[in-house]
Structure 1
Amino acid sequence: MDVARWLCLGLFLAGCEMAGDAVDMSAGPELIILAAPIAGDPYYADVYADIVEFQIEFGRRIISAGDDVIILSDETAAPAFIEALGPSHVAVYPVEDIWARDFGTSNAASPVFFRYTAAGQGSGPGGQADADAVQSAAIELADQAGLTAAFGRLLNDGGNYVDDYAGSVVISRKFLRDNDLGESEARRLIRERTGARQIAFIEADEQGGLEHADGVLAFIGPGTLIVNAYPDDPDYAAALRADLESGLPGVSIHEVPTPYDASAVYDDRFGSACGLYTNALVTPNRVYLPQFGVAEDADVVNQVQTLTDREVIPVPSSGVCHLGGGVRCMSWQLRGENAARLAAHLRNRP
């Protein structure tokens, strides 16, 4: 990697853009990148097998549905992934964390690397350095593959950038605090970096920690949002709807049942994603919807299917949701020529 590009990538200077030819952003099979846990990582030791099992089943469903998946793995887990999914869906390229959504690019059609925040690594001393180190693997991989993406110094996790690929974006107000911005200036900067046209800032439903918008809502199509139901907090529900209607005029908002379960939180810095159907992975033709082994699962699948012309794919997630994420949080999405370049690079590595 040359020095100028390293400065661009490493320092996240505003206005930097990764070199590369123009990218064809036409819709096709989405490439989903999953990052497997590294064997021996003490943080994930107790749930290592659960994560691998989830990623294998998720990978199967992605392939069966018609999208593409490659799992970045170390040499220890690679044989299990290869046996289950085939060698073309596994690359020995270990990264230091599993939450690829947060340190990868936001928006598969007009990709941008925000600077992964310290909160994603639990904050604390050296938190931003840890976050930068985790993200550097994704940035270097993108550079090696010749991807085209924009960069900026703005701090944000991919889980806090929820958009419909038609110009509408939702971000929690943690973004404003992290970057010391007012809403007007933040909207201007986000529009410049991403091409978004209308942006809603919301309060996260749990203050502190990650405060990601994708734990609250999801676009399941252009101008169509599903949001968590908050029957025990009507004031928050009303404020959320007011923020969305103000920032996203014309967007259709639909509540879905939210059987939230925080009884088995793995790390109390991050909360639980159990019962959050809004943490769905949405591709041009499909909605991969988490399922939790509860009575509401089938009803929400049916409800979401009535609201979108995309195929709804249920994905069992009860084994990992207590970690604070799952279907969307683990998925780095790429599309068009960027997807083709990265897939070719990973599949042609020695």
Structure 2
Amino acid sequence: MFCLSGLLSYIYPSDTANLTAALDTHNIPYRFLPNTKDIWVRDFMPVRTGSGKLVSFRYEPSYLKNDPDLRTDFRKDLAPQLGLPVTYSNINLDGGNVVFSPSGARVLISDRVFSENPEYPSAALMRELSELLEAEVLIIPSLKSDMTGHADGMARFLDDRTVLCNRPLSSCGFEQQVKRAVQDCGLDAVDFPFVPAGGVSAVGCYLNYLETERVVFLPVFGIEQDAEAETSARQLFSKEIVPVNIREIAQQGGCLNCISWEGPHA
């Protein structure tokens, strides 16, 4: 069961229709959550570990410091209606900054987690995250100019030893730094199409796909590079690739992974 914000269809009816039509076609159930303050459910919903354990982190990102009306409090706003068995943590961490490997044995998190939790010594924070997430925590750099600094727009696991990374634009740019960090963790890094849009826009961020057991829903944006992204995805994944145009949502800074959350029975 995939969960989406109840705000989604009101604010972005066309993009929402594109996504729900794709989910319906592949018989993937979904529901719209009431009482959400914004559409980015990945960030404020609990993180699910490889064993199925649900961990709810504190959702107080620095980029929403002056916008408390946009912060959904899972424990208060959603937990009562969902009735899920959840472990709560005081660590300040967005779900979009947690990228698991398929087995759940490894997890990528950007270094933004350190600045969001200044009260924690880095080593202690890493240990607690590893225990909570039941995984080896691997740190990759965050883009300083990116408001959220999330990992899910920079790197995604193809398998437990292979990570898809945004294709570097130069030999010394930020994308190359992320790729090198992944390799320094002992993992293989594979380039994936990427078109930087500038500003808050995530148009061109094909890595922010939604993956299910059988299907990869690939965000597309009505731009020339969509075709290359679809071709690359079909070459890399053994699953069916389904393009979903969500250009309007992407212009606000997120794509398919950002707006979706897998329930316990996904």
- TM bin (shorter chain): 0.7 to 0.9
* 2:189 matched residue in structure 1: 253
Q: Find the partner of 2:65 among 103, 120, 123.
A: 123
1:130 Cα shift?
Answer: 5.6
* 2:258 matched residue in structure 1: 329
* 2:92 matched residue in structure 1: 155
Supply the AA of the counterpart residue of 2:27.
G
**Structure 1 residues 62 and 116 mapped into 2: Cα distance closer, same or farther (>3 Å)?**
same
Instruction: Provide Cα deviations, 1:128-180, integer angstroms capped at 9, x if missing partner.
Output: x862546632223333xxx2222211111111111123211111111111112
Q: Find the partner of 1:97 among 28, 32, 38.
A: 38
Partner Cα distance (2:125, 2:74) in 1:
25
Partner Cα distance (1:259, 1:252) in 2:
22
* 1:110 matched residue in structure 2: 53
* 2:109 matched residue in structure 1: 171
* 1:139 matched residue in structure 2: 79
Residue 192 in 1 paired to residue 131 in 2? Answer: yes
What secondary structure does 2:132 align onto?
Answer: helix
1:261 Cα shift?
Answer: 1.7
> Contact (CA 8 Å) 1:33, 1:332: kept in 2 or not?
yes
Alignment of 1:251-290 (within 5 A): 251-262=187-198, 271-290=200-219
**Structure 1 residues 156 and 68 mapped into 2: Cα distance closer, same or farther (>3 Å)?**
same
Which protein shows a greater Rg? 1
* 2:29 matched residue in structure 1: 68
> Contact (CA 8 Å) 2:37, 2:72: kept in 1 or not?
no
What secondary structure does 1:214 align onto?
Answer: coil
Supply the AA of the counterpart residue of 2:13.
V
Q: Find the partner of 1:227 among 153, 161, 165.
A: 165
> Contact (CA 8 Å) 1:170, 1:201: kept in 2 or not?
yes
**Structure 1 residues 53 and 308 mapped into 2: Cα distance closer, same or farther (>3 Å)?**
same
What secondary structure does 1:199 align onto?
Answer: strand
**Structure 1 residues 141 and 119 mapped into 2: Cα distance closer, same or farther (>3 Å)?**
farther
Partner Cα distance (2:87, 2:184) in 1:
28
Which sections of structure 1, spanning at least 5 residues, go unmatched? Answer: 1-30, 40-47, 73-92, 266-270, 340-350
Partner Cα distance (2:227, 2:146) in 1:
32
Alignment of 1:284-323 (within 5 A): 284-323=213-252
Partner Cα distance (1:294, 1:33) in 2:
28
1:322 Cα shift?
Answer: 0.7
Partner Cα distance (2:141, 2:222) in 1:
29
Partner Cα distance (2:87, 2:100) in 1:
17
Supply the AA of the counterpart residue of 2:88.
F
Partner Cα distance (1:103, 1:59) in 2:
21
> Contact (CA 8 Å) 1:103, 1:157: kept in 2 or not?
yes
Partner Cα distance (1:192, 1:232) in 2:
37
Partner Cα distance (1:306, 1:208) in 2:
29
Which sections of structure 2, spanning at least 5 residues, go unmatched? Answer: none
1:258 Cα shift?
Answer: 1.1
Q: TM-score, normalised by structure 1?
A: 0.68
> Contact (CA 8 Å) 1:205, 1:216: kept in 2 or not?
no
Supply the AA of the counterpart residue of 2:177.
A
Partner Cα distance (1:102, 1:38) in 2:
15
Aligned length: 262
Greater strand proportion: 2
1:320 Cα shift?
Answer: 1.5
Q: TM-score, normalised by structure 2?
A: 0.88
**Structure 1 residues 290 and 38 mapped into 2: Cα distance closer, same or farther (>3 Å)?**
closer
**Structure 1 residues 287 and 324 mapped into 2: Cα distance closer, same or farther (>3 Å)?**
same
Partner Cα distance (1:275, 1:208) in 2:
15
